[in-house]
Amino acid sequence: MTDIKNLVSFGCSWTYGDELIDPKLEEEGYEFHHRFNEEYRTNNCYTGLLANHFNLTQENLSFPGSSLQSMQWALMWWLNNRSDEEIKNSIILVGLTGEDRVSWYDPNYEEGDDGWNHYLHSTWLEYAGPNVDTGWHELKKYHITMSACDGLSKLNYETAVRMFDGVAAKYQIPVIQFNTVARLKMNQIDTFYDLGVKETLQAEDYAPGGHPNREGHKKIYNLIKREIENIL
């Protein structure tokens, strides 16, 4: 494992670093999602802390609102756009999000310079209002009334965990999967780590919107750091 050079992460807003903001920018009235805050956010979320500690480059392919489904799509984009050598020089972190979330591929939407993020997430629609075509709201409504159930949530979770586990097996690279928002567990999968993130974080470790604050990310960083040290 001495050839590991890159840390690649997949997840939702927890892994993205939502609500982390540079105190100086906050004093000036900037919101945490402003582009001026990107460097601070990426350096102080748990993936950035780990990348800096282990002297690895960081690719954070997480995004607020992501589902387990869109995380797999992001994984496919990464595999298709990286050489075998780059893949084999990577360690993958997977912050497993809510099993009941759903995403859709929107060919008219693109977020980010790399063109990988064409996804519209069900979690956005509650707040999107007229900014999103009414058809997406109808699609979410039909999904909830006709398809959403515990069985589908379980399938979403198991499919994602086994897919990331399969990448670890194919390329013989370290993958660390753990729950952030997800509730289910697959302890029989070697790449799944029952880190107890929610059990570790206390009330003071959360930002007002419910995401880990800087201290919360430090605690998640410490949980994962021990596992990486055992791998590398």
Res 27: pLDDT: 86
**CATH 3.40.50 given to domain 6-231:** yes
- From CA 85, how far away is CA 90, in angstroms rounded? 9
- From CA 17, how far away is CA 27, in angstroms rounded? 19
pLDDT per residue over 167-189, tens digit each? 999 999 999 999 999 999 999 99
Res 184: pLDDT: 98
Res 132: pLDDT: 83
Res 21: pLDDT: 92
Res 106: pLDDT: 87
| Structural contact between residues 180 and 97, judged by C-beta atoms closer than 8 angstroms | yes
3-state secondary structure the chain: CCCCCEEEEECCHHHHCCCCCCHHHHHCCCCCCCHHHHHHHHHHCHHHHHHHHCCCEEEECCCCCCCHHHHHHHHHHHHHCCCHHHHHCEEEEEEECCCCCCEEECCCCCECCCCCECEEEHHHHHHHHHHCCHHHHHHHHHHHHHCCCHHHHHHHHHHHHHHHHHHHHHHCCCEEEEECCCCCCCCCCCCECCCCHHHHCCHHHECCCCCECHHHHHHHHHHHHHHHHHHC
For the chain, which residues score pLDDT lower than 70? 1-2, 110-113, 129
Residue 19 sits at the vertex; the CA angle it makes with 77 and 141, to the nearest 5 degrees, is 60
Res 112: pLDDT: 60
pTM recorded for the entire structure:
0.94
Q: Two tokens at 78? A: 């990464």
